[in-house]
Amino acid sequence: MIHLGDITKINGAEIEPVDCITAGSPCQDLSVAGKRAGLEGERSGLFMEQIRIIKEMRKADEQRGRTDEFIRPRYMVWENVPGALSSNMGEDFRCVLEETVRIVQEDADIPGPPKGGWPYSGCIVGDGWSVAWRIHDAQFWGVPQRRKRIALVADFGGRSASEILFV
């Protein structure tokens, strides 16, 4: 793995194309244990830098001649605390979903959470893209402690996000 430095200074168009971007923005602003500044917080707001870099990478790959499902990165994985589902009454997770979908559908408008809040797992599908999320416990993934996390998978070129996350 190559360390590229400060995420706010990375230009996605200058990065070698990859198939998948995986990130976990700092969780302090989304955690129920924190002050709940949400995505507007200085730390958790770095999620938007991940989105910016992916958009820059995809635009550069498209300019090199790739089209449709072949534009890279095709996949995105985001990990964070379950508090992301309830932060700012669910608005922060709605924003995560909407900004993720806007990578491939600029006019995307994701509605707010259903009554009772966001479910612990779900999937949304559009024209040629899909996004799925679920809460899992890290103890079942090789971590010697109980630690719940949300995992979100986006497939910008197809409908495999739920298959990747749930199968």
- Catalytic residue numbers read 27
Helix, strand, coil in percent for the chain, rounding step 5: 35, 20, 45
Positive or negative CA dihedral for 1, 101, 93, 36?
A: positive
Cβ contact 103:58 at 8 Å:
yes
Long-range pairs for 163-166 at CB < 8 Å and ≥24 separation?
164/75, 164/132, 165/132, 165/133, 165/134, 166/121, 166/132, 166/134
Prior bond of 113 cis (ω within 30°): no
Kindly state the tokens that stand for 137.
């416990």
